[in-house]
Amino acid sequence: MSRDFKSVDDYIDAQPDAARTALNQVRNAIRKALPRAEEAISYKIPVYRLHGERILFFAGWKQHYSLYPAGKHLVDKFKHDLAPYEIRHSTIRFPLSEPVPVKLIEAIAKFRAREAVESSKAKPVSHQTRRNTSNKAGASKAAGRKDRMR
């Protein structure tokens, strides 16, 4: 199914009945865990963002639904809880034939949010940001000189 979805509602409504219930539960779990997250469509699937950082994606398939990204730290942290599920290429696959592990999905969403916050704190200030900051400082100094000259 290759459609350009306008909203998460649109995405879920386009899924087969078997997937729709599970995807609504996944969505509700993520929204409960991340009440301030922005919900959007990116790469044609639902994504949740906090402070501009992509936290978690989900997608529905014929036999399963998936959560992305599941990096090494996340997989290590939830190793025992994730043991029954297939994890491949930073994707966790949950079978549609089993109950949705709502508490686990909430915990994963919160973990990903913490990872994103820590990652953004660790990022160095970009060259562009430094230049913009120095330009503002320079503009303020120039304005001060003009005021003194009057």
Tell me the pLDDT tens digit for each residue of 29-72. Answer: 999 999 999 999 999 999 999 988 999 999 999 999 999 999 99
Contacts of 38 (CB under 8 A, 6+ apart): 48, 49, 50
CA 131 remoteness from chain centre: 29
Type of residue numbered 22:
A
The letter for the amino acid at 21 is T
Q: CA–CA separation, 56 vs 23, rounded Å? A: 14
From first to last of its 150 residues, what are the pLDDT tens digits of the chain? Answer: 457 899 999 999 999 888 999 999 999 999 999 999 999 999 999 999 998 899 999 999 999 999 999 999 999 999 999 999 999 999 999 999 999 999 999 999 999 999 988 877 776 655 554 444 444 454 444 444 444 444
Cβ-contact 27, 46 below 8 angstroms: yes
CA 22 from chain centre, in angstroms, equals 19
Task: Identify the structural domains of the chain with CATH numbers, from first to last.
Answer: 8-123 (3.90.1150.200)
C-alpha separations of 58 from 11, 135, 140 in Å = 11, 41, 46
Cβ–Cβ under 8 Å, residues 10 and 44: no
The pTM score is: 0.78
Q: For residues 29 and 45, what is the distance between their CA atoms, to the nearest angstrom? A: 17
Question: Helices marked H in 15-101 — which ranges?
Answer: 17-33, 72-77, 79-82
Q: Are 96 and 22 spatial neighbours (Cβ–Cβ below 8 Å)?
A: yes
